Amino acid sequence: MSKVFIFLGKGGVGKTTSSASLAYYLAEKGYKVFWFSVDPAHNISDVVGQKVDKITEVYKGLFALEVDVGRYMQRYIDNSIRRMKRLYKQLSVVGLEKVVESMRFSPGMEEVAILYAMHDLLQNSADYHFIVVDTPPTGLTLRILALPKLNIEWIKVLKYWRLKILERRRMVEAVRGEGALGEGVVVDPSEDKVIHELNNHFDMMKEMWDLFASNDCMKFLVVNQDRLSIAEGLRIKESLKDLGMQLAAVLVNKFGLLPVEKDEIKENYSDASVFELPFIENKEQLDKDDYLQIAYSWVPEVVSV
C-alpha cells in the first residue's frame, strides 16, 4: 500500500495548508500523489481554485478530492438495509427502511461513514506513490482513528455469542434430529451468513487498524503559536499515545504571529520533532510556489523521498 500521511489539529490551525504543502512538494518531486479531504467542511477546492467533488488532477501528478461524506453515509445505510433483509428475512416488517434510515442521526454515524470512505479510497489507490489526508477537527478525527480497534473488540464478542447460538442449535438437532429447527435454519458456522458478515467487517476493521498503527501511516500535528491550540495539541498527542500511535512531527503553522515562545512549544512537545512553518505575508490567496516554500521548511527533514 502507498505511504499515507494524516494531518491532525483543532479547527482553523492550518491542516489544509500544511497538507497542501506536502502534496505539492511530493508532486513537484515527480511522484503521483492522491490528496483528499474527509472534513465535511472542505477547503481543498479553495486551495486549488476549482471544484474537486471527483478525483481531479490539479497539478502535474497531484490528484485531489473532497469526499462527499453524506453520500458515503447513505451508501452505508442502504447496504445495512440490504444486509438486514438478507440476513433476517423473518423480520420483513413494514417501515424497516425508515427505521434504518434514522441511523444517519445516530451518534458515531459520521465517523463510520468517513472510515468507510477512507477504506474505499485507500483500496483503490494502488496507482499512487503517496496519499495525503486532510481531516476534520480534533475530536472527530481521533474517534475515526480509534473506531477500528473498538469495532474489532465488539466483533469478537458478537462472533462469540453467534457461535454459541449455532452450538445450541446443533445440540437441539442432535436430540431431535436433523432439520428439527425448521427449513433454512443454519447450524454450521461455515454456512452462516451472520458469521460471514462479521468476518467481512472484522477483516475491514483490522485492515484499517493495521494501517493506522503502522509506520506506513505518518501523523502530523498542526498547531498555532497560541496556548489554546498548543493545549489541544497536547491532548491529541496523549490520545494517540493511548492508541499506541506516535506523531511524526509537530508543525507550528503561521509561526511568529502569536506570542507563545518557541522554547515553550518545544518543551511541550519534547518527544517530537517541531517545525516552524512560515507565514506568507501580503497574500490573500496562496499559490503553488507559496505552498512549496512552506514545504521546504519541514518536509525534507521528515519525509524520505
Active site residues: 39
Task: Yes or no: say if 137 and 11 are a contact pair by the CB < 8 Å rule.
Answer: yes
**Beta-carbon count within 10 A of 284 CB:** 4
d(CA 269, CA 262): 11
Cell numbers 445516530: residue: 106
CA distance 264 to 127: 42
- CA distances (Å), 221 to each of 135, 244, 248, 272, in order? 11, 16, 8, 10
- State residue 60 phi and psi, 5-degree precision: -55, 115
SS3 251: strand
